[in-house]
Chain A
Amino acid sequence: GAVVSQHPSRVICKSGTSVKIECRSLDFQATTMFWYRQFPKKSLMLMATSNEGSKATYEQGVEKDKFLINHASLTLSTLTVTSAHPEDSSFYICSARDYPGRNEQFFGPGTRLTVL
């Protein structure tokens, strides 16, 4: 199957700093990527849909100015957590489809963010 990578796999930062997480589709082009967040012992929650060449679509309750998404190419989407606070500590996971409408969605390995 298609492979999605994320970098970094783990990051620890101080409160108030910004953190960028990269999501790459390694062997396919993805016009759309998705960002999820997962708190400990909870399920994944969709944060936003990242569209190549256009603005991201955010789910209700997700602050677009705090979680900046850039989908500059067909293989890369980035999520920047701005002015991170301890409550932003979570497991961030991206996913992509290799073509629109495909049933199978490919997930990255996730990025563990800890804000001190």
Chain B
Amino acid sequence: DAKTTQPNSMESNEEEPVHLPCNHSTISGTDYIHWYRQLPSQGPEYVIHGLTSNVNNRMASLAIAEDRKSSTLILHRATLRDAAVYYCILRGTYSGGGADGLTFGKGTHLIIQP
């Protein structure tokens, strides 16, 4: 799997936007960019994914660079409940056979200040 690079930690204030960067310079043309987050002592939670175009959902937005070598997860208005470790993960096109687990990096620990 192609590698991703994220800052170890970031800090933001409550009710302000947060931009979480991810570098993936070795991404292949068929790799999807996924974001998951993990709150303390819980299992990860899907946030968003994309391939080439920017994506929006109720949780966040995903901005993908034109060359796809980097992306940014955007939380439009952070709350204390958004404090978590955010993982940027690349996943290739599913080719069958069931082998489809995710490879987690170290992620970014997001700290939200009240």
Contact = CB atoms under 8 A, between A and B. Distances in A.
Contacts of B100: 32, 34, 49, 97, 100-101
A4 B91 CA distance: 21
B46 A44 contact: no
A95 B43 contact: yes
Contacts of B45: 107
A46 interface: yes
Interface in A84-112: 91, 93, 95, 97, 100-101, 103-110, 112
A97 to B, nearest CB: 7
Interface residues of B, number: 25
Taking chain B's interface residues, is the majority helix, strand, or loop, or is none over half, making it mixed? loop
Interface residues of A, number: 30
A108 B106 CA distance: 20
B66 to A, nearest CB: 22
Q: Give the residue among A4, A6, A32 with the most B Cβ atoms within 10 A.
A: A32
When A and B form their complex, which 3 residue pairs have the shortest distance between CB atoms, in order from nearest? A107-B43, A101-B94, A46-B101
11 contacts: A6-B43, A32-B98, A43-B105, A43-B107, A49-B98, A59-B101, A95-B101, A101-B100, A107-B45, A110-B41, A110-B43
